Chains A and B, each alone.
Chain A
């Protein structure tokens, strides 16, 4: 069963896109298909990012180390959907109007944040291979990949700032993210305290 977990999750991760393709095929994307596609891809970018961020806490809390093997895949699925989301914005919404894109990026804060989020994720995707992990070394690789935390914050802020009045949906994502990052913060504080006490014990002996 453990062997089958990864391909199973991989197949499941393709379901949202398959569903989108199906609705396109059935001509069922609503009366504003560009908006539908862009929002759908944005939603799933955020969901995959949160799923990737949930792996470590779940692994520890549920005591299921096999989950760790899913982290890279989920992270790459997040990046894949972010790329599609960005492509649909540039290609479908703006129809490759690069001037309009630049104006949006410098003037619209939620687009600035979204673009910044994308830029933070690029080096993470680029260094996701085993070879890159070896080249960077575990410590530096882990330090670099902490960029996923600000990327998560930017992604939620990007969504939140785009909404006109009904903030319930971005609020839900913000709470999940707060939980995932908060768990890490509490743990980090705990580890730091432990180290401190060990350190003072060293001095005492």
Chain B
């Protein structure tokens, strides 16, 4: 393949990442005026966490339990092409669908979201993806579908972490159907304008910004519509500490540590954790009348 390069452009002509991202932020902010999704632009004080941090500090236990394990072991091991997703359960159009066919009808969007880990740290990530709410209706869920269950790939040949029985593989997560259909819920395929790095859950992951990070399941191979509440891997591992909802809530502590504050990666002092990770205006209505201490 011949690579043509314009002789009049040098390295220094490449738009600086900050400027480039500034433009994206501007576009995101501008488009948020048109669309009913106010969370598209990062609010003031939420500068995106550098790509280097987002792609080297990961919890992806299938590739090891150390924060730096996934970045070391996932790239080159995780095979993301071809990729398909098995869709099933309570829906009229089940079947296995290739990644390209899954995404083709939809226009990718950029969403800058806060990500709050249950361990007490947080990031701001510019994701690319499609709203799950646009994808799910294509499979025509029946009236019996009340929850959506997602499953991560579990292939010991690709994932060295599976040998350690740290969790009950494959990794399973779930959402109530109305949570899955909420406009903030994103089926992400990229971050920082490029394809998802393997360690961030390539090629397809969920992003549910008002819930603790582990709800945003990575490397999805199965989506099932179900009638009863799915049991997630963390609920199985420790039902006392991890509930189905796992909404970010500074008033409901993890049994072993406080959730009142968080350390934003790149910052020294802890900052206060916000109710529903700062998305209360958009999502609090989903939980009206619920006791969030009981349904944690």
Within 8 A of A (CB), among B35-58: 52-53, 56-57
Number of interface residues of B (CB under 8 A): 26
Q: How far is the CA of A35 from the CA of B66 in the complex (A)?
A: 12
Q: How far is the CA of A66 from the CA of B9 in the complex (A)?
A: 70
Partner of A32, one of B57, B167, B237: B57
The answer to whether B266 touches A31, judged by C-beta atoms less than 8 angstroms apart, is yes
Contact partner of A30 (CB less than 8 A), chosen from B67, B257, B268, is B67
Known: A103-B258, A104-B258. A165 touches B263 (CB 8 A): no
**Closest chain A residue to B64, Cβ basis:** A166
| Chain A CB within 8 A of B102 CB | no
Complex contacts, A30 vs chain B, CB 8 Å: 56-57, 67-68
Question: From residue B241, how far is it (CB to closest CB) to chain A in Å?
Answer: 9
B65 interfacial by beta-carbon distance below 8 Å: yes
Given contacts A31-B56, A165-B167, contact A110 B265 (CB under 8 A): no
* A95 with B257: CB separation less than 8 A: no
Across-interface contacts of B65 in A (CB, < 8 A) = 165-166
Taking a contact as CB atoms under 8 Å apart, the answer to whether B52 and A164 are in contact is no
Q: Which residues of B contact A168 (CB under 8 A)?
A: 164
Which residues B241-274 have CB closer than 8 A to chain A? Answer: 253, 256-258, 261, 263, 265-266, 268-270
Q: How far is the CB of A45 from chain B (nearest CB, A)?
A: 19
CA distance A107 to B256 in the complex (A): 8
Query: Chain A 80-121, CB within 8 Å of chain B: the 1/0 string?
Result: 000000000000111100001001100111100000000000
Residues B166 and A166 in contact, CB atoms below 8 Å apart: yes
Of residues 61 through 95 on chain B, the ones whose CB sits less than 8 Å from some CB of chain A are 61, 65, 67-68
Closest to A161 in B: B256
Closest A residue to B49 by beta carbon equals A31
Contact A166–B57 (Cβ < 8 Å): no
Main secondary structure of the interface of A (DSSP, over half): helix
**What is the CA–CA distance of A181 and B67 in the complex, to the nearest angstrom?**
33
Minimum CB–CB distance for B53 against chain A, Å: 4
How far apart are the CA atoms of A161 and B261 in the complex, in Å? Answer: 20
Contact between B257 and A34, CB atoms less than 8 A apart: no
Which single member of A32, A107, A108 contacts B121 (CB below 8 Å)?
Answer: A32
Bound CA span A100–B56, Å: 30
A162-B256, A165-B237 known; A32 vs B263 contact (CB < 8 Å): yes
When distances are taken between beta carbons in the complex, the residues of chain A under 8 Å from B56 are 30-31
B109 at the A/B interface (Cβ < 8 Å)?
A: no
B176 CB to nearest chain A CB (Å): 25
A95 to B268, CA, bound (A): 9
B61 and A166 within 8 A (CB): yes
Q: B-contacting residues of A (Cβ < 8 Å)?
A: 30-32, 34-35, 92-95, 100, 103-104, 107-110, 161-162, 164-166, 168
A31-B265, A166-B61 known; 8 other A-B pairs, CB under 8 Å? A31-B266, A32-B67, A32-B121, A103-B258, A107-B253, A109-B256, A165-B61, A168-B164
Query: Can you spell out 27 A-B residue pairs with CB atoms less than 8 angstroms apart?
Result: A30-B56, A30-B57, A30-B67, A30-B68, A31-B52, A31-B53, A31-B265, A31-B266, A32-B121, A32-B265, A34-B263, A34-B268, A93-B270, A95-B268, A95-B270, A100-B258, A100-B261, A104-B257, A108-B258, A109-B256, A110-B256, A161-B256, A162-B256, A165-B61, A165-B166, A165-B237, A166-B65
Instruction: Give the A-binding residues of B (Cβ under 8 A).
Output: 52-53, 56-57, 61, 65, 67-68, 119, 121, 164, 166-167, 237-238, 253, 256-258, 261, 263, 265-266, 268-270
